[in-house]
Every structure is written in structure tokens, then in C-alpha cells.
Structure 1
Amino acid sequence: MKISSISFKEPPVSHEFPPLYEGLGLPEVSSFIQQRFEFAYTLGEVERIGHGSIRFYKRQGDFEVHISDKLPGVGPIKLRELKGLLLEEAKTAFIENIESEPEKRKVYYAEFRRTGKDAE
């Protein structure tokens, strides 16, 4: 398996969660920066296109690749290998995109707490 190309489709977006959720230590409710990309990969003799995103979890300092679609001919083991290759290829460019982005795009998540009157 080989990655032929990676191209970012939109600028990085910062996803901000309230401190209440940050304290839980769960990655799915931790603030992160995400950027979507399209990639071309070769599996055997066939070149195919896939879509994914790379995330940087601010608190943990971890990078993670998410692939949005099922890829034909790619099982769980090859998928893990592909994600590793994509992370190696995209990580440096992603960091550069974060640092060079003049206008930060942000998504805010709100607290979903009951008000004092409704809580019993």
C-alpha cells in the first residue's frame, strides 16, 4: 500500500468544548483542531481516492486520522496501516496549516446542564 497524494480541502477548524466536559478525560469531548483532506492511494495495481480528516487533540497532544468512507479492499489491519501512513504524510503539513491560518474558524459546544428549577 502506498499513498500517492494528499490534498487538504478546507482550512483547519477548531472545535471547543466547555471546561466541564474537558475534565472528563474523554477524547470524544475534548477540544481539537480538525482539517479534512482527500488522498490517493495505491492498493496492488489499482489507484483509488479516499476522504478523511486529521485531528489534533489539544489537551492530550495526540494526532489522529479518521477515514470517513469504507475503502474497497481495505480490512481492519490494512486500515490501521493506511491511517499510520496518512498520519506520517499529513502531520507536518497540518501543523503548518494551523500555524499559518490567519483567521481561525471555530465551532463551540455548549453545556447541556439542567437549570436549577428543572433538576430534581
Structure 2
Amino acid sequence: MKISSISFKEPPVYHDFPPLYEGLGLPELSSFIQQRFEFTYTLGKVERIGLGCIRFYKRQGNFEVHIPDKLPGMGPIKLRKLNSLLLEEAKTAFIENIESGPEKRKVYYAEFRRPRKDAE
């Protein structure tokens, strides 16, 4: 398996969660920066195109690659190997995009609480 190319589709997006959620310790409810990309990979003699995104979790300080769609010919072991290859390839370019990006697109997550029964 080989990664031929990676191209980012859009600028990084900053996902900010309220401190209430940050304190729960769940990585999926932690603030992160995400950027989508398209990649070309070779599996055997066939070259294919896939879509994915790379995330940097601010609080934990770690990077993750997510591939939303199933890829033909990819089982769980090959998918783990592909994720690690994509992380190696995309990490430095992603960091450069974060540092040099003049426009910051943000997504805010709000707290949704029920009003107290005695408050009217």
C-alpha cells in the first residue's frame, strides 16, 4: 500500500466546545481543529481516491485521521495501516495550514439545558 498524493480541500475548521463538556474527559467532546483532504492510494496495482479528515485535539495534544466512507479492498488491518500512513503524510502539512491560515473558520457548540422548574 502506498499513498500517492494528498490535497486539502478546505481551510482548517476550529470546533470549540463549552468548558462544561471539556471537563467530562471524553475525546469526542473536546475542542479540536479539523481539515478535510482527498488522497490517492495504491492497493496492489489499482490506484484509488479516498476522502478523509485529520483532527488535532487541543487538550490531549494528539492527532487522528478519520476516513468516513468504506474503501474497497480495505479490511480493519489495512485500514489501520492506511490511517497511520495518512497521519505521517498529512501531519506536517496540516500543522503548516494551521499556523499560516489567515482566515479562521469556527464552529461553536452550545450548552443545551432545560430550564429549572421554579424559574419562570
Common fold: TM-score over 0.5:
yes
- What is the deviation of 1:16? 0.3
User: Could you give the per-residue CA deviations for residues 2-45 of structure 1, whole angstroms, max 9, x where no partner exists?
Assistant: 00000000000000000000000101110000000000000000
User: Could you give the per-residue CA deviations for residues 48-78 of structure 1, whole angstroms, max 9, x where no partner exists?
Assistant: 0000000000000010000011000000000
The answer for the alignment partner of 1:5 in structure 2 is 5
The answer for the alignment partner of 1:66 in structure 2 is 66
- What is the deviation of 1:115? 1.5
Fraction of identical pairs, as percent = 87
Give the 3 Å change call, closer, same or farther, for CA 111–74 of structure 1 in structure 2: same
Amino acid at match of 1:82: L
Aligned residues: 119
Amino acid at match of 2:4: S
Query: Residues of 2 paired with 1:4 and 1:12: CA distance?
Result: 22
Query: Residues of 2 paired with 1:36 and 1:72: CA distance?
Result: 20
Give the 3 Å change call, closer, same or farther, for CA 118–106 of structure 1 in structure 2: farther
Amino acid at match of 1:25: G
- What is the deviation of 1:117? 2.6
- Aligned positions of 1:47-62 closer than 5 A: 47-62=47-62
Q: Is 2:1 the partner of 1:20?
A: no
Q: Which runs of 5+ in 2 are unaligned?
A: none
TM-score, normalised to structure 2, is 0.96
- Cα RMSD (Å): 1.2
Give the 3 Å change call, closer, same or farther, for CA 101–118 of structure 1 in structure 2: farther
Q: Which runs of 5+ in 1 are unaligned?
A: none
**Superposition misfits of 4+ residues, deviation over 6 angstroms:** none
Query: Residues of 2 paired with 1:106 and 1:117: CA distance?
Result: 34
Query: Residues of 2 paired with 1:87 and 1:31: CA distance?
Result: 19
Give the 3 Å change call, closer, same or farther, for CA 37–116 of structure 1 in structure 2: same
Amino acid at match of 1:106: K
